[in-house]
Amino acid sequence: MRLSHFLTRRGAKPGRNREPRRALLHRVARKWLPGFLFSTGDKPGGARRGLRRLGPSWESAPLRRVIQTACFVLFCLLLLYVCWPYSVQPDGNASGWPSHYADGLQQRESIDAELFLTLDPLVGISTAVAGRTWNWALLGAGVILVVGILIPRGFCGYLCPLGTLIDLFDFVVGRRVRRHRVAERGWWVHLKYYLLTGTLVAAACGTMVAGYFAAIPVVTRGFAFFMSPLQLGMERGWHQVPALTPGHLISGLLLLLVLALGFLGPRFWCRYVCPTGAVFSLGNRFVRASERKVENSCIDCGRCVAMCPFDAIKPDFTTRVMDCTLCQTCGGVCPTKAIKFVDRWNSEDLRPESWAGEIPVSRRGFLGGIAGGLAGVLGIRSTFGGHAPPVRPPMSVPEPQFLELCIRCGECFQACPNSVLQPMTLEAGLDGLWTPRVTADWSGCEPSCNNCGQVCPTGAIRPLPLEEKRVARMGLAEVKASCLPWAGTVDCQLCVDECHRAGYDAIEFQRVHTEVNPDGVAVEGTGLSAPVVLVDRCVGCGLCQSVCHRKLVKAKGVLESTAIVVHAGPGKEDRLIRGSYLQLRKQEEEKRRKESLRKLEELGDFY
Mean pLDDT confidence for 59-83: 86
- Whether the CB-CB separation of 309 and 163 falls below 8 Å is answered with no
Name the maximum alpha-carbon separation found in the chain: 118
Phi, psi of 532 (to 5 degrees): -130, 130
The CA distances from residue 167 to 72, 164, 325, in Å, are 11, 5, 15
Tell me: pLDDT of 580 over 50: yes
Q: Residue 22: what pLDDT? A: 55
Query: DSSP assignment, residue 493?
Result: -
Q: Which residues of 183-221 are buried (b: 16+ CB within 10 A; e: fewer)?
A: eeeeebbbbbbbbbbbbbbbbebbbbbbbbbbbbbbbbb
Angle value at C-alpha 138, between 134 and 144, nearest 5 degrees: 165
Condensed to tens digits (0 to 9), the pLDDT of residues 347-360 reads 777 888 777 777 77
Tell me: pLDDT of 99 over 50: no
Rounded to whole angstroms, the Cα distance separating 76 from 154 reads 20
What confidence category does residue 97 fall into, taking pLDDT thresholds of 50, 70 and 90? very low
Tell me: pLDDT of 47 over 60: yes
Question: From the centroid of its chain, how far is CA 286?
Answer: 29
> What does the domain layout of the chain look like in residue ranges?
54-83+113-343, 399-467, 476-567
Tell me: pLDDT of 372 over 80: yes
- Whether the CB-CB separation of 411 and 220 falls below 8 Å is answered with yes
SS3 436: strand
Beta bridge partners of 530: 510
Tell me: pLDDT of 114 over 60: yes
Rounded to whole angstroms, the Cα distance separating 506 from 491 reads 19
Query: DSSP assignment, residue 84?
Result: S
Distance, first Cα to last Cα, the chain: 96
Rounded to whole angstroms, the Cα distance separating 69 from 76 reads 11
* CATH number 3.30.40 given to 399-467: no
Condensed to tens digits (0 to 9), the pLDDT of residues 397-454 reads 999 999 999 999 998 988 888 889 999 988 877 888 899 999 999 999 988 888 899 8
SS3 512: strand
Tell me: pLDDT of 90 over 50: no
Residue 289: partners with Cβ closer than 8 Å, 6 or more residues away: 149, 150, 343, 344
- Whether the CB-CB separation of 214 and 126 falls below 8 Å is answered with yes
Q: Helix/strand/coil (H, E, C) string of 129-164?
A: HHHCCCCHHHHHHHHHHHHHHHCCCHHHHHHCHHHH
Out of 79-88, 231-240, 287-296, the most confident range is 287-296
Mean pLDDT confidence for 27-44: 63
At 529, which helix (H) or strand (E)? strand 528-533
- Whether the CB-CB separation of 229 and 241 falls below 8 Å is answered with yes
Neighbours of 407 (CB within 10 A): 32
The more confident residue out of 217 and 246 is 217
- Whether the CB-CB separation of 305 and 313 falls below 8 Å is answered with yes
Rounded to whole angstroms, the Cα distance separating 550 from 536 reads 26
Residue (of 117, 119, 129) closest to 373 by Cα position? 129
Q: Which residues of 246-282 are buried (b: 16+ CB within 10 A; e: fewer)?
A: ebbebbbeebeebbbbbbbbbbbbbbbbbbbbbbbbe
Q: pLDDT > 90: what percent of the chain?
A: 39
Q: Helix/strand/coil (H, E, C) string of 191-225?
A: HHHHHHHHHHHHHHCCCCCHHHHCHHHHHHHHHHH
Its sign, for the CA torsion 153, 156, 160, 164, is negative
Rounded to whole angstroms, the Cα distance separating 549 from 418 reads 15
DSSP strand pairing (476-479 vs 436-438): unpaired
Rounded to whole angstroms, the Cα distance separating 495 from 548 reads 7
Helices 275-286, 191-204: inter-axial angle, 10-degree rounding: 100
Rounded to whole angstroms, the Cα distance separating 3 from 474 reads 53
Mean pLDDT confidence for 543-568: 94
Tell me: pLDDT of 607 over 60: no
Residue (of 208, 246, 234) closest to 409 by Cα position? 208
Q: Mean pLDDT over all residues of the chain?
A: 84
Q: Residue 98: what pLDDT? A: 43
Tell me: pLDDT of 472 over 90: yes
Helices 121-131, 215-236: inter-axial angle, 10-degree rounding: 100
What confidence category does residue 158 fall into, taking pLDDT thresholds of 50, 70 and 90? very high
